[in-house]
Amino acid sequence: MSARDNILARLRAAPRSSAPVMPDVAGRLADRYAALRAPEADRFGTFRSAIEAAHAEVHETSGAEWPALVVRLCREKGVAMLACPPAGDLSAALMLEPDAPEIWGYGETMEAVKGRLFDATDAGITRAHGAIAETGTLIAWTGVDEPRSLSLVPPIHFILLDRSRIYADLLQAMTEEGWAGRLPTNLLLISGPSKTADIQQTLAYGAHGPKELIVLVLNPEGVAA
Which residues are paired to 59 by β-bridges?
Answer: 216
Q: Is 68 a residue whose pLDDT tops 70?
A: yes
When divided into structural domains, the chain yields a total of 1
20 is a domain residue:
no
Q: Lowest-confidence range among 11-15, 126-130, 153-157?
A: 11-15
Instruction: Indicate the burial class of 202 (C-beta count within 10 angstroms; 0-12, 13-18, 19 or more).
Output: exposed
What are 163-220's pLDDT values in tens digits? 999 999 998 999 888 888 888 788 899 998 877 766 666 767 666 778 999 999 999 8
Write the CB contacts of 211 (distance below 8 Å, at least 6 apart in sequence). Answer: 155, 156, 193, 194, 205
What counts of helices (H) and strands (E) characterise the chain?
9, 12
Q: Tell whether 14 is covered by a domain.
A: no
21 in any annotated domain? no
Which carries the bigger pLDDT value, residue 89 or residue 36? 89
pLDDT at 18 over 70: no
Does pTM surpass 0.95?
A: no
**Residue 32 domain-assigned (yes or no):** no
In a domain, 169, yes or no: yes
Q: Nearest to residue 59, comparing CAs of 69, 49, 67? A: 69
> Which of 29-43, 105-119, 126-140, 178-192 shows the lowest per-residue confidence on average (mean pLDDT)?
29-43
The answer to whether residue 5 is domain-embedded is: no
Could you tell me if residue 173 is inside a domain?
yes
Residue 33 falls within a domain, yes or no? no
Q: In whole angstroms, give the CA distance from residue 54 to residue 168.
A: 18
Cβ neighbours around 214 below 10 Å, total: 21
- Whether 129 and 141 have beta carbons less than 8 Å apart is answered as yes
Q: Given pLDDT bands bounded at 50, 70 and 90, which one contains residue 15?
A: confident
pLDDT band at 79 (very low <50, low <70, confident <90, very high): very high
Amino acid, res. 33: Y
Q: What is the pLDDT of residue 199?
A: 63
> Could you tell me the CATH number of the domain that includes residue 70?
3.40.50.10420
- pLDDT band (50, 70, 90) for residue 2: confident
- Which of 23-27, 60-64, 179-183 has the highest mean predicted lDDT (pLDDT)? 60-64
> In the predicted model, what is the mean pLDDT of the chain?
87
- Mean of the pLDDT values across residues 99-103? 96
Q: Where in the sequence is the domain holding 137, given as residue range(s)? A: 41-218
pLDDT(27) > 90: no
